Chains A and B, each alone.
Chain A
Amino acid sequence: MPLTSQFVNLLAAFLLLLAFAMLSQRRILTLIHLFAWQGAALALSTAIVAYSSAQPHLYFSAALTVLVKVVLIPWVLHRLIDRLQIRWDVETLINIPTTMLIGIGLVIFAFALATPISQMASTLTRSTLGIAMASVLLSFLMMIVRRKAVPQVIGFLAMENGLFFAATSATYGMPLVVELGVALDVLVGTFIFGIFFFHIRETFDSLDIRHMEKLKED
């Protein structure tokens, strides 16, 4: 196996590790840092794939990842939690060891699902497809088990990271136009979520999304 491919595998493993770290994290500030680290690992692996497969457009998407996911979105999230004055209140519906065990189950499921696909693929990074799917599922899980709005949004963003990684590992990335569009969407989405946070808090005096059930008409 060439060294670049091994390095991509290592970064993929790091990405999975970060997904689990986010799943088990109780503090919002650390959650944001972990998200930034995930972006950085993603950008690095994209750049390595670009180098080893001689696909110059992947360099652009790596740079875009650094700009949006390592710098801009964490900065916006930092500003948000400063304004909202929340730092500690990550609450989970299920306790954390149980969440981790469910997470392992999801990883096994994703790996089992990806193995037949990656055996037919011929790309350099085929073995990382399972990890990409696992991190998408783990981010899903994080959105499900978190009760507060901000960690849910971070879970959503982490899911986009996983999808991006899946795109790089399965098909050497999407066309640049699509990637530009997705990056912009994510950025705008973060801003809109930020505005939503303020509205949710103004209406309910809390960011706990259980209160939103009151909006139902009986």
Chain B
Amino acid sequence: MNLSAGSAFQILQSVFVVLAAPLLMGWVNKCRAWLQNRSAPSILLPYWTLTKLFHKDAVIARNASPLFRITPYVLFGCMWLAAGIVPVLATDLPFAPAADIIALVGVFALARVFSALAAMDIGTSFGGLGARREMLIGFLAEPAMLMTLFTAAFISGSTQLTTIVDTLAHREFAIHPSLAFAAVAFLMVLLAENARIPIDNPATHLELTMVHEAMILEYSARHLALIEWAVAIKLFAYMTIGIALFLPWGIAAAGDWAALPLAIAALTLKLVLAGAGLSLLETLLAKLRLFLAPEFLSSAFLLAVLGMLTHFLTRT
């Protein structure tokens, strides 16, 4: 692989993720509307929302500190970086050695810390409430996420996502019970981390239940647009991490232009299915009380630990 082709792939993937992430969000919303028997909004609606928000004038509270202003950019930057590291279209990207799975979880944690700080910055009660809830969910979700990733790392013998994907995609077919556990745990973490339904409802502003929305209540215009966009990219990144770990077939190697159309087609198909599955889950499940969230996430942690134990037991 020469460097220029690798860079071209890196740029292509980064731009692709940023542009496609709102589309995934729109698809999830559309599926959810179908399943709930509502007339569905256009799949392009997230783009129109972003355009509308970018054209508005930002209103910022008088006592807001610089932290409040830079947080949207930090969030967007973190998510974009994560999307550049995860092998979405191709493995072996130039960015990939920059961070392994542990650092990737760290990037997500950095974004969480900034959003919680910014939520408390203005000093409104909703901000503090949202930040506290977010940290509660975050500190429970992170170990479960790490354990899930460790299970995959044990199977492939490396914590580099690229190596994991290469090992899992190109080995001979084998059933890994440990990966099945890890997949369920990862799904639960995905729901919790992306503020989806059993933990948080992305479509409500009800003060008793909201977590993520309470944190970004003070933002408007371009700041809000960046945050919404970052949320979409985060969902995209989590889904592609899941795909990379559990369904990696069809991914291209960096610099291999011939395999690219197939990789894009496979990724689109998987994301369409994953989005439909997510909306189905959200329709079937009821939102949990906040005090049940620790139980939900400790089950995720338990499943991930079980996956790791099973790996050691069934290894030959």
A60 CB to nearest chain B CB (Å)? 27
In contact, B313 and A96 (Cβ under 8 angstroms): no
State whether the Cβ of A13 lies closer than 8 Å to any Cβ in chain B. Answer: yes
State whether the Cβ of B161 lies closer than 8 Å to any Cβ in chain A. Answer: no
Q: Interface residue count for B (Cβ, 8 Å)?
A: 21
**CB-defined contacts of A97 to chain B, threshold 8 Å:** 294-295, 298
**CB-defined contacts of B131 to chain A, threshold 8 Å:** none
A132 CB to nearest chain B CB (Å)? 11
Contacts A97-B295, A100-B298, A104-B302; A17 near B174 (Cβ below 8 A): no
State whether the Cβ of A131 lies closer than 8 Å to any Cβ in chain B. Answer: yes
**CB-defined contacts of B305 to chain A, threshold 8 Å:** 104
In contact, B316 and A20 (Cβ under 8 angstroms): no
Q: Mark A90-132, 1 if CB is under 8 A from B, else 0.
A: 0000001100110110011001001100000000000110110
In contact, A127 and B306 (Cβ under 8 angstroms): no
Chain B facing A: main interface SS: helix
CA–CA, A97 to B298, complex, Å? Answer: 7
State whether the Cβ of A54 lies closer than 8 Å to any Cβ in chain B. Answer: no
In contact, B295 and A12 (Cβ under 8 angstroms): no
Q: Mark A1-24, 1 if CB is under 8 A from B, else 0.
A: 101001101101110110010001
**CB-defined contacts of A9 to chain B, threshold 8 Å:** 175, 177, 314
Chain A facing B: main interface SS: helix
Q: Mark B78-96, 1 if CB is under 8 A from A, else 0.
A: 0000000000000000000
**CB-defined contacts of B175 to chain A, threshold 8 Å:** 3, 6-7, 9-10
In contact, B306 and A12 (Cβ under 8 angstroms): no
Chain B residues near A (Cβ < 8 Å): 174-175, 177-178, 180-181, 184, 294-295, 298-299, 302-303, 305-306, 309-310, 312-314, 316
Chain A residues near B (Cβ < 8 Å): 1, 3, 6-7, 9-10, 12-14, 16-17, 20, 24, 96-97, 100-101, 103-104, 107-108, 111, 114-115, 127-128, 130-131
